[in-house]
Structure 1
Amino acid sequence: MDMNQYLEVFIEESKENIQAINDQLLHLEKDPSDLKIVDEIFRAAHTLKGMSATMGYSDLADLTHRLENVLDAVRNGKILVDSNMLDVVFASVEDLEAITLDIANGGAGKRDVQQVVRQLERIENGEKMEGTNDKNDQKHDQVVSDVSNHSIFKELDEFEITVLKESIEQGFETFQLHIKLREDCLLKAARVYMVFEVLEQVGEVMKSQPSVEDLESENFSNDFYVLVVTKESSEDVKKRILKVSEIENMEIEPFSVQSYVNRQWEEQEAAKAEVAATVEKSDEQQIDKKQATPSQKAVNKTIRVNIERLDILMNLFEELVIDKGRLEQISQESNNNELKETVERMSRVSGNLQNIILTMRMVPIDQVFNRFPRMVRQLTRDLGKQVDLKIEGADTELDRTVIDEIGDPLVHLIRNALDHGIETPEERKRKGKSEEGSLTLKAYHSGNHVFVEIEDDGNGINKEKVMNKAITNGVLTKEQAQNLEDSQIYELIMTSGFSTADKISDVSGRGVGLDVVKNKIESLGGSITIESTEGKGSMFSIQLPLTLSIISVMLVEIEEDIYAIPLSSIIETAIVKKSDIMHAHNKEVIDFRGKVVPLVHLKKIFEISSVQTEEELYSIVIVRKGNKMAGLVVDSFIGQQEIVLKSLGNYLTNVFAISGASILGNGKVALIIDSNALIK
């Protein structure tokens, strides 16, 4: 029998069963006496074992069989559930994930699982497991500065991962080295050889990028990467390497093997939507349930559609929207009533078609949320804290493009909340709080946006500390600090390189990297706001658009050019007399409903040549980003329109204040203004 035809279904169902095991294990840890939870885990494991055996993946089937034996012993009262036993079970689930990932990537599903199998056998035989999270494990298994997010080594094979793990167990350190030779270096291969000689003296080279062959043939520029295991400290390794002549610079940082494995699994989950999107729209949704008679049998008809086909469909529809805009312009210029009626009907149909296509691209944010419970469990154990994670609104749907990008910012915010937001049990007890902290992750729809909130009941943000740090860093003056509102003070922690942490930890530092989180969210057309009460907790609120492909904009004219400003950032438009414009700090400002709003002349920003004329009236678009506002000065307003957002491509990624472009009905290109950049 040809099993390849069932492979995709097997992978999808295996991931679902493993996720179910993960979720139920977290519930079991909270309530070890609930045997119904054990039954649920047993059923998922039994299903996974049967499918694996049928498909011929023996390692997956054998490991699941061992896990099944342990669960059966728990059901029969032969084994008691404790944290050390659950650590081993969680480790076995990680191996199940890794094997499934290997199968999904075209591998044979082979993995050395002897160690975890032996531990499961010991549990099955009634042996008491000792604590597995000793300091050495914590040191290496934590996501050390999340090195795997930017590691150059993206493709380690199974043998290399096994060797790295065994080296760590034997007390070795794993480092990633970035070595840069001087520009005038004549014998690059000789210098590389000398570097490798030094590294072989202090440890063992696991991998290089470029490959050793390319390095020997000098088929590289002036820098290269090396992955090395050693018992020497990073400083000692660096000193030895820098003694080699003609080396301009060297950077060394820890490489977390466990983080690498976890990252691969997360990337596979994120790519789930890229491989296949399940479009489940029941015909019964078209029927009013209240009118359905008891005899009507609900039939759920589903179809599995490859996401690439949906992307093609979306691109074709975007072209249709552009042509629709052209037809609307032609019908307005003509006096043909039949053409106008046809175009109006086409607009209604295309509107309905747009809703259907966008709905098909929507996927539940649960695909992102389901990775967090286990991550929170591990981090709280590493940090010695007690945290109750609550997830609300996991069924909230977002465009697949947004889902793919939002995972990393949420991971960073959750780590910050756990590390520097929520206090230790002892500290919470001294403050009169419960020893267990609370972390809430919530998602919900509001208008044309989705809000994601991360709220903790920890320390909150110390405003005085933030302002003092900002003044020390030269971000603002003492006079400016006195006039800031609370929300503006909190936004300071998202300034590049800003941190109020007294000690930078391996997990995070509140403020470290938050500028990257902010930039990522803003690149998705969203925004982030912070609310905090010192001593009581903080809430980070992320606002995201439902979709990124088709947006509503206000078209404006500047000289002969047309620009588009997203409606989501516009408060209103206004005509202002020249006499109403004032000056503050050598800048033009206006009084807008009791607030001083600075003016931004787009002609100057975009360097548009024009004939200098004195205008008596100014056309202004008031835009907002959080609590900050600005007035964009344009020549005239054209009107509101739905346009297709197109990227400027790789060569124009750094164009200031322009987020994309669109083709209008008359064939002209309209650049889309990034008002957030102008306000910033």
Structure 2
Amino acid sequence: MTDDPRRPSLIDLFREEARTQARVLNDGLLVIDRAPGDPAALEACMRAAHSLKGAARIVGVQVGVELAHAMEDCFVAAQEGRALLDAEWIDELLRGVDIVARIGNDEDESARDAVGACVAALQARMAGVVPHGAAVRREVVPPVAAVSAAAPVVVTQPPAATADASNDADAAFNLLADALRAEAAEAMTPAVAPASVPPGTPANAPASANANSSANEPGRMLRVRADNLDRLLSLSGESLVESRWLKPFAQSMLRVKRVQRDSTRALDRLHETLADLKLDPRAHAALEELRRLTAESQHLLADRLADLESFDRRSTHLSQQLYDAALQCRMRPFGDGTGGLARMVRDVARSLGKKVRWQLVGESTQVDRDILDLLEAPLGHMLRNALDHGIEAPAVRLARGKPEEGTLTLDARHTAGALLITVSDDGAGIDLEALRASIVRKKLASGETAARLSEAELLEFLFLPGFSLRDQVTEVSGRGVGLDAVHDVVKRVRGTVRITQEPGLGTRVQLQLPLTLSVIRSLLIEVAGEPYAVPLAHVNRTLHVSRADIELLEGHQHIAFSGRRIGVVTAHQILDTAPPADQGGTVCMIVIGDGPQTYGVVVDRFLGERMLVVQPLDPRLGKIRNITAGALMENGDPVLIADVDDWLRSVERLVAGGDLKHAQHGGARAAQRATRRVLVVDDSLTVRELERKLLATRGYDVTIAVDGMDGWNAVRGERFDLVITDIDMPRMDGIELVTLIKRDPQLHALPVMIVSYKDREEDRRAGLDAGADYYLAKGSFHDEALLDAVRDLIGEAYG
């Protein structure tokens, strides 16, 4: 239809239409499942099927025409009271909805077979429906040969419109797009009594009027690229920062006004002093003119300052509104991400033979789009767990004095500046004794320890990887990945998860998440004269610690913290900056990490707490080690946001490499620079440690990296004399690492040695072609072979 590559094809438009109508059908059928005679739901479903049939006929998707036609017949029969859509009938219709969401074109054989089976099942049910003569609204479905996906698209319109469309491809494209959008808009409007449609009226006849009216609707939805919204938010944040620059500027101008006032007073005193003297009349005239000009400039300055203050207020207010509006663009109703959950609850409950009433509370609660996208899988896991483990079978519930239909509720709300999501059921709760026995059976704790655990401590075991109370794996649960996956996602967005339960009354799982990932509360710290922002969600505690309280145990520094000992490392080592010159008696420290990976990080000083707008880094920079993003402070100064997970990995690498320095005194980096520095890149802990010890015993200064990406970050941030790398590694393999190093104008002279288990000629050739200076097979090398190769490339350790 058009040569513009940005224009969607007709089949793409149809797929969008099919997804829209599939959502309408799915929601309507779930309502009909609970209220079989609901007239509004039946009307909405009938209209959606009718619209889908018209759209499929326009683009020649015959399987879509056949399926939508069969579904429309079912809804019409239900509307006229000739059929009752029971649970089995709705199952068939929902299977049809699943097919609608994925049908693409008439040549899709799998779709054709699935449609054929579904249409046959629906027609078999319709066979028992008593005909109602002319009241049955049935259109003649053209044979397959009459409409083909490869055939030209013919749209029935008045002659003038047809002539224009045939002469202008863009006009035809817009005509069809408007028709499809109008069909979708009509299906999404509240159900009304269907108007009579004269025979022969095309399916898209009212498209133009509907399109024009919908174009002016205030609540209509538009599709915008996510990166454009991110850019808008970034620019609005910068605009807000710039607007706040005006206030200190106005204050500085007030100082100018005070200086001018003082100069005017000094001029007046000079005039009084000279008044008694007999000066030349021209001198007196010049003095009077100077006084007049000074007074005039003072009045002008006062007026302009008033204008500036007014402009400052308006600019700040408008910038704040712009930023709030841009931030709101990232927010979506919670219901947008939960559309498929009602269907999933129904299907799982039916497969388990349980009766469940589904409740969604807070459907309009605004949630950051990135968080909403991450919530689909965790919510699915929690709901399946509640259905399988929590809610009892109908007979069991009746025996316990409960209604046979259980209640499963998903609640989303804003509270205390956070998003609180709760999944609750009125089931049996959690059998704590069975949980305790499972912990002992899986050897996660001894029997004595498990007996002493509190309820809250016992429930924490449910989040462990692979932990499940099911002895057998079923289609619903038993593999122990549900709550573990929930915990991982919550931790990724710096949230918390908590389980509470009451025996016999139900279970509640609460997720507390940030409202948005675009704005974070951060602790500003200073390291080597530069500010850094550490997300407060990752900061366990801030401390002022005396250097005398830092103890040295087995070569590592520790402090007492919450009844245990945690390791201490300086932020200068993590960020590879120069140590501070001032060594006072007290150090500032932040505590990060959890469990055994808890560390105290010494920083130069605390700068306070800030709300920062996250500014993504340029993707061309790649992943920068220890940094996740940037932001602008209120005065416009940039600040880097720390990647705390990277910090923890850097600490573990320093510990494994024996490179930790003491916080009691600064390290002598000049002495290190006199030693040849080698970077060992390998994803195998054993190989890394073997090569590190081998080189360290010969006096080389060795740094380790756990994969290619980690190694690439290391060579860009530090100076090395040699890189030794493996080939097969996650995130970035050795060949790609060598290629990047040799293409970098600042690193291309850095010698690189490949040490690989693979001794295949193609691997050797690929490594050398990428620019490697040496290739050594792990399977055949011995200690001296590696050391000889290192000496050949960079010489002895000291030089």
Give the partner amino acid of 2:45.
Answer: I
Of 25, 28, 37, the match for 2:29: 25
Q: What is aligned with 1:271?
A: none
Quick check: 1:68 aligned with 2:72?
yes
Structure 2 counterpart of 1:318: 234
Aligned equivalent of 2:760: none
Pair 317,490 (structure 1): closer, same or farther in 2 beyond 3 Å: same
Letter of the structure 1 residue corresponding to residue 642 of structure 2: L
- Is the 8 Å Cα contact of residues 83 and 129 (structure 2) preserved in structure 1? no
> Structure 1 length normalisation: TM-score?
0.61
For 2:245 and 2:60, locate their aligned partners in 1 and report how far apart those are by CA, in whole Å.
Answer: 61
Alignment of 1:117 with 2:88, yes or no, is no
CA contact (8 A) 1:88 1:120 kept: yes
Q: Is residue 438 from structure 1 mapped to residue 407 from structure 2 by the alignment? A: yes
Give the corresponding residue for 1:461. Answer: 430
Partner Cα distance (2:586, 2:54) in 1: 76
Return the offset for 1:371.
0.4
1:458/1:677 Cα in 2 relative to 1: closer, same or farther (>3 Å)? Answer: farther
Paired residue type of 1:671: A
How far does residue 555 in structure 1 lie from its aligned partner after superposition? 0.6
Partner SS for 1:521: helix
Alignment of 1:382-461 (within 5 A): 382-461=351-430
Counterpart selection for 1:301 from 218, 237, 242: 218
Q: 1:472 to 1:80 in 2, by over 3 A?
A: closer
CA distance in structure 2 between the aligned counterparts of 1:71 and 1:588, rounded to whole angstroms: 72
Q: 1:430-470, CA deviations, whole angstroms, 9 ceiling, x for partnerless residues?
A: 43332222211111122442222211222322333334433
Deviations 1:112-132 (A, max 9, x none): 31121112111111089xxxx
Deviates more, 1:324-333 or 1:467-476: 324-333
Q: Distance in 1 between matches of 2:359 and 2:318?
A: 42
Q: Name the Cα RMSD after superposition.
A: 4.7
Aligned pair partner of 1:380 in 337, 342, 349: 349
Q: Contact 1:548–1:645 at 8 Å: present in 2 too?
A: no
| Alpha-carbon shift at residue 539 of structure 1 (Å) | 1.6
The code of the aligned residue for 1:119 comes to: A
Contact 1:322 1:643 in 2 (8 A): no
Cα distance change on mapping 1:468 and 1:562 into 2, 3 Å: farther
Deviations 1:650-674 (A, max 9, x none): 9987968x65555775456442435
* CA-CA distance at 1:318 after TM superposition: 2.3
Is the CA contact 1:571–1:622 (under 8 Å) kept in the aligned structure 2? yes
Q: Which amino acid aligns with 1:42?
A: M
* Structure 1 residue 562 displacement after superposition: 3.7
Contact 2:558 / 2:568 at 8 angstroms: preserved in 1? no
1:569 CA drift (Å): 5.7
Distance 1:50 1:333, change over 3 A: closer
Asked if the contact 1:582–1:590 (Cα under 8 Å) also holds between the matched residues in 2, the reply is: no
> Identity across aligned pairs (percent)?
28
Asked if the contact 2:630/2:639 (under 8 Å) is kept, the reply is no
- Residue of structure 2 in register with 1:87 after alignment: 91
Aligned residue type for 2:224? I
Q: 1:675 to 1:631 in 2, by over 3 A?
A: farther
With over 3 angstroms needed to count, the CA separation of the structure-2 counterparts of 1:421 and 1:497, relative to structure 1, is same
Q: What's the CA shift string for 1:288-319, capped at 9, x where partnerless? A: xxxxxxxxxxx7435654422x5235225426
Following superposition, the deviation at residue 400 of structure 1 comes to: 2.0
Contact kept, 8 Å, 2:522 with 2:533, in 1: the verdict is yes
Q: Which amino acid aligns with 1:453?
A: T
The answer to whether the 8 Å contact 2:574/2:647 transfers is: no
Q: Return the offset for 1:359.
A: 0.9
- Retained in 2: the 8 A contact 1:499–1:511? yes
Q: Which consecutive residues of structure 1, in runs of 5 or more, have no partner in the other structure?
A: 129-298
Cα 1:330–1:93 shift into 2, 3 Å? closer
What is the aligned partner in structure 2 of residue 262 from structure 1?
A: none
Aligned residues: 499
User: 1:427/1:677 Cα in 2 relative to 1: closer, same or farther (>3 Å)?
Assistant: farther
Distance in 2 (CA, whole Å) between partners of 1:348 and 1:63 is: 55
Counterparts of 1:305 and 1:385, CA distance in 2: 40
Classify the secondary structure of the residue corresponding to 1:307. coil
- Does 2:644 correspond to 1:673? yes
Pick closer, same or farther for the CA change 1:116–1:527 going to 2, 3 Å.
same
Which residue is 1:150 aligned to?
Answer: none
Q: 2:81 aligns with which of 77, 91, 109?
A: 77
Aligned equivalents of 2:593, 2:312: Cα separation in 1: 35
Alignment of 1:507 with 2:476, yes or no, is yes
User: Residues 384, 56 of structure 1: CA spacing in aligned structure 2 closer, same or farther, 3 A cutoff?
Assistant: same
CA distance in 1, matches of 2:511, 2:647: 15
The residue type equivalent to 1:117 in the other structure is: V
Offset of residue 614 of structure 1? 7.8
Q: For residues 487 and 377 of structure 1, do their structure 2 counterparts lie closer, same or farther at Cα, with a shift above 3 Å needed?
A: same
Letter in 2 for 1:646: P
Contact 1:648 1:661 in 2 (8 A): no
How far off is 1:644 after superposition?
A: 2.0
CA distance in 2 between counterparts of 1:18 and 1:119 reads 19
Aligned to 2:570: 603
Q: Retained in 2: the 8 A contact 1:368–1:403?
A: yes
Separation in 2, partners of 1:559, 1:483 = 47
Q: Is the 8 A contact 1:419 1:509 kept in 2?
A: no
Give the structure 2 partner of residue 286 of structure 1.
Answer: none
The CA deviation string for residues 461-485 of structure 1, in whole angstroms up to 9 with x for no partner, is: 2333334433454544566546644
1:144-543 matches, cutoff 5 A: 300-301=217-218, 305-308=222-225, 311-315=227-231, 317-318=233-234, 321=237, 336-337=252-253, 348-476=317-445, 481=450, 484-509=453-478, 511-543=480-512
Q: 2:756: which partner in 1?
A: none
- Return 389-398 or 7-16, whichever deviates more: 7-16
Evaluate the alpha carbon distance shift between residue 321 and residue 39 of structure 1 in structure 2; reply closer, same or farther with a 3 A threshold. Answer: closer
Please tell me whether the aligned partners of residues 438 and 456 of structure 1 are also in contact (alpha carbons under 8 angstroms). Answer: yes
Q: Which residue of 1 aligns with 2:616?
A: 646
**Alpha-carbon offset, residue 395 of structure 1:** 1.7
- Cα pair 1:458 1:536 within 8 Å, conserved: yes
Would you say the 8 A contact 1:329–1:666 is kept in 2? no
Matches within 5 A, 1:37-48: 37-48=41-52
From the superposition, tell whether residues 384 and 548 of structure 1 become closer, same or farther in structure 2 (CA, over 3 Å): same
C-alpha separation between the residues in 1 aligned to 2:320 and 2:453? 44
Please identify, of 609-618 and 446-455, the stretch whose mean Cα deviation from structure 2 is larger. 609-618
Distance 1:629 1:649, change over 3 A: same
Distance 1:433 1:528 in 2: 29
Identify if the C-alpha distance between structure 1 residues 98 and 619 changes in structure 2 by more than 3 Å, giving closer, same or farther: same
State the Cα distance separating 1:7 from its structure 2 match.
6.9
Deviations 1:540-590 (A, max 9, x none): 21222222233231211245454322245668756466799999xx96345
User: Matched residue of 2:526: which SS?
Assistant: strand
When normalised by structure 2's length, the TM-score is 0.53
> Greater relative contact order (Cα 8 A, min sep 6): structure 1 or 2?
1
Gap runs ≥5 in structure 2: 131-215, 255-304, 653-799
Give the whole-Å Cα distance in 2 for the aligned partners of 1:576 and 1:488: 31
Distance of aligned partners of 1:600 and 1:652 in 2 relative to their CA distance in 1, 3 Å threshold: farther
CA displacement 1:95-143 (0-9 Å, x = unmatched): 22222xx36x998996331121112111111089xxxxxxxxxxxxxxx
Alignment-mate amino acid for residue 118 of structure 1 = A
Residues in 2 aligned to 1:597 and 1:9: alpha-carbon distance in whole angstroms:
62
- Structure with higher strand content: 1
Q: What amino acid is aligned across from residue 520 of structure 2 in structure 1?
A: I
